[in-house]
Structure 1
């Protein structure tokens, strides 16, 4: 298996469970509060590592208690952190409300993530291509540098274009594989949020691709739809009980990267990642909810 380098955020998630998501200006009583490791980059790195990929996280942590806790957590997960800079100021923080149905609202405070700088990438030699994975919780210019460096070095590049930032639209054509959910797709393609697989595929066809391998749209309970060349591929999701959806998309991205790094073709990797995300929604939390390789393979059997 080749390795996965994630350039992404690491946050401390402050998670409150509420009976329903609050309306504007409303105060609700939470039934519980927890501090758990998170951030899209850290979540995706944990998902990739637990699936068995040699994995590294590049980005930035603050020199605070949260930063030390996050670094210790990543070390326990076997994720290399040599390119995770320690900077002055607080680490990233996410304030998360989760309702009884598992839906969520999230407010992200960038903290140290705003100081992250794209790492250098060594040119690919022989063997499987290493995988470079990025998201938009870091400075957009640095994400662009990372994707361009991956192209020059011959790495397989994946971009999870989340959160949807209008100023990042120019980047959606850069990766080999673009991953968005329905809301992000609507922002970047300039349409309404699609209802179902067919609308998602039609809207995804409007995105610039420049010869990219695929555009992948995650559709929650409907699985994923991917545009691969002129072909449309739909991978349905299994019906599972949902505890919370925080981190499910990150689980999909991290396991997709790991499956590609071990040489799975795109269709097989998509099926593997959908199965993993279906396991993640059955557990509370984000990084802590990522499934182990054996659990994913059992789900696929």
Structure 2
């Protein structure tokens, strides 16, 4: 891929500490688990790996500690062919996510940010990586100041911005409206808009020329643009084992698909030297719908496997189902 189809992921990198158990304990209760493991994760790293495995040319921007977990995450990034020039080494320990997976496949997660919390601004090198990309992918596990800085660089150079607003945190006024595509799940969409109806929430989130995709788990997702819903994309029926990385797999695969075949952009990529505030290049309805279909299959494969990055499919696996 050329530089105009690169994907920059600005986000968190954690080590996931995963316990499998029959159910969640009551307050004060002790129960036995059935398994434990450590798996590289963090919403940012998850999305970077998912995009790379779908053929995306990916650079990761974030921070890890100088500890064993940090070295393990760096090894994974290298093994996946993801660019690490934008990955800093912080004085804080590498972030961790403490994940309980119950037998039904659902999960609950507590994140300890660690090194991720040190990413409060962008370095000159990180800004340059964003300028050389077609897409900037972000989540809310980094400080909002860093995300705002990334959006400012992206908009100045016609880079298409994608935000997963998870976890839901206080955002500056106008922040969501400055993003080109927002991808919350149904709960997050309701928190952001006050609307429990995902269709109405998608309409509100997409108002003003933004794309919004509200994911609904086993019910698929709602796709909207500029205040109007394009439709409900159904999920691919599977028996779920672990839903930990389903949403991140969806986003990574979606962006990788948009970045393929000339970037999925109307004129082939970002505009180098575009003035500050320049509108990003658009994506057609047909291109987005195609990418949603691709992402839906990738996500459906991931929930049949345990773990976060360990569950994510390759390009060949998705292509075989869609052939």
TM-score range (shorter-chain normalised) is over 0.9
Instruction: State the Cα distance separating 1:124 from its structure 2 match.
Output: 6.4
8 Å Cα contact 1:64/1:89 also seen in 2: no
Aligned residues: 291
Instruction: State the Cα distance separating 1:122 from its structure 2 match.
Output: 6.2
Match of 2:315 among 275, 286, 293: 293
Matches within 5 A, 1:39-78: 39-78=42-81
8 Å Cα contact 1:123/1:154 also seen in 2: no
2: CA distance between counterparts of 1:179 and 1:169? 18
**1:127-164 CA-partner distances (Å, limit 9, x unpaired):** xx711100000001111111121111111111111111
The secondary structure found in structure 1 opposite 2:117 is: helix
Instruction: State the Cα distance separating 1:203 from its structure 2 match.
Output: 2.1
Match of 1:25 in 2: 28
**1:20-65 CA-partner distances (Å, limit 9, x unpaired):** 1223332221111101100001100000000011111100001111
The answer to whether structure 1 residue 183 and structure 2 residue 187 are counterparts is yes
- What RMSD in Å do the two structures reach over aligned CA positions? 1.7
Match of 1:174 in 2: 178
**1:152-199 CA-partner distances (Å, limit 9, x unpaired):** 11111111111111346642212111110011001110233xxxxxx3
Match of 1:12 in 2: 15
8 Å Cα contact 2:244/2:303 also seen in 1: yes
**1:97-123 CA-partner distances (Å, limit 9, x unpaired):** 000010001000000000123331468
**CA gap 1:82/1:124 in 2 versus in 1, 3 angstroms:** closer
8 Å Cα contact 1:57/1:81 also seen in 2: yes
The secondary structure found in structure 1 opposite 2:142 is: coil
The secondary structure found in structure 1 opposite 2:222 is: strand
**1:249-295 CA-partner distances (Å, limit 9, x unpaired):** 00001111111111441110011011100000011000111100000
8 Å Cα contact 2:131/2:153 also seen in 1: no
**TM-score (normalizing by structure 2):** 0.86
The secondary structure found in structure 2 opposite 1:205 is: helix
8 Å Cα contact 1:255/1:273 also seen in 2: yes
8 Å Cα contact 1:51/1:292 also seen in 2: yes
The secondary structure found in structure 1 opposite 2:127 is: coil
The answer to whether structure 1 residue 221 and structure 2 residue 218 are counterparts is yes
The secondary structure found in structure 1 opposite 2:183 is: strand
8 Å Cα contact 1:13/1:39 also seen in 2: yes
Matches within 5 A, 1:65-104: 65-104=68-107
Match of 2:244 in 1: 246
2: CA distance between counterparts of 1:65 and 1:190? 42
The secondary structure found in structure 2 opposite 1:163 is: coil
**TM-score (normalizing by structure 1):** 0.92
**CA gap 1:123/1:25 in 2 versus in 1, 3 angstroms:** closer
2: CA distance between counterparts of 1:28 and 1:270? 39
8 Å Cα contact 1:215/1:226 also seen in 2: yes
**CA gap 1:104/1:75 in 2 versus in 1, 3 angstroms:** same
The secondary structure found in structure 1 opposite 2:30 is: coil
Instruction: State the Cα distance separating 1:208 from its structure 2 match.
Output: 6.3
The answer to whether structure 1 residue 37 and structure 2 residue 40 are counterparts is yes
Which stretch has the larger CA shift, 131-140 or 20-29?
20-29
8 Å Cα contact 1:121/1:153 also seen in 2: no
